Structure formats: C-alpha cells, structure tokens
Amino acid sequence: MTRDQVFDRLEQVFRDVFDDDSIVLYEDTTADDIDDWDSIEHITLIAAVEQEFGMRFSMGEVSGMKDVGEMVTILAQRASK
C-alpha cells in the first residue's frame, strides 16, 4: 500500500474518532495539533487504527511513535487489509 493510500484511510479513522470532518493529516501532525487528542482518546485511536488496518502495534511502537508520519510508515509495511 502506498503512503497516500494509508494517509487517506487514516484520515477517515481520525475524523471518526474525534468526530471532526475537518481534520487533515500531515507527516508531522502530533497530538498537539488536534484538540481532543488526549491520553484517553489516544487509546480509542490506537484501537480504531488497528481495526481499520487489520494489524497490531507492539508496545514499543505505541510508545515510540513521534508523529503521524511514523505511524504511516508502520502501517504501510504491516497493514493486512
């Protein structure tokens, strides 16, 4: 899957979780850029991303991802659907 395809699908997951259709994702988007992205919503987000892409992050990946770009890199390699 290309990075662009991952971005498109990921954006929709973010919009669903944060209930905000105006969200646009960039490589360097972080929790600071999205109002409701707190530690609790982070859990919902991780679960929703895992479900959408049919994969599981490792604990190291969850705590290590610095921005959306890094998440996209992992997803582009490991997405099963």
Compute the distance between CA of residue 18 and CA of residue 43 in angstroms, rounded to an integer. 12
Token pair of 62 as six digits = 């969850």
Q: Which stretch binds other proteins (CB under 8 A): 1-9, 26-34, 51-59, 65-73?
A: 51-59
Compute the distance between CA of residue 59 and CA of residue 28 in angstroms, rounded to an integer. 21
**3-class secondary-structure state, position 31:** helix
Minimum distance of other proteins from residue 40's CB (angstroms): 5
Question: Residues touching other proteins: how many (CB under 8 A)?
Answer: 15
- Amino acid identity of residue 45, one-letter, is L
Minimum distance of other proteins from residue 17's CB (angstroms): 6
Catalog residues that contact other proteins under the rule CB under 8 A: 13, 16-19, 40, 43-44, 47-48, 51, 56, 59, 62-63
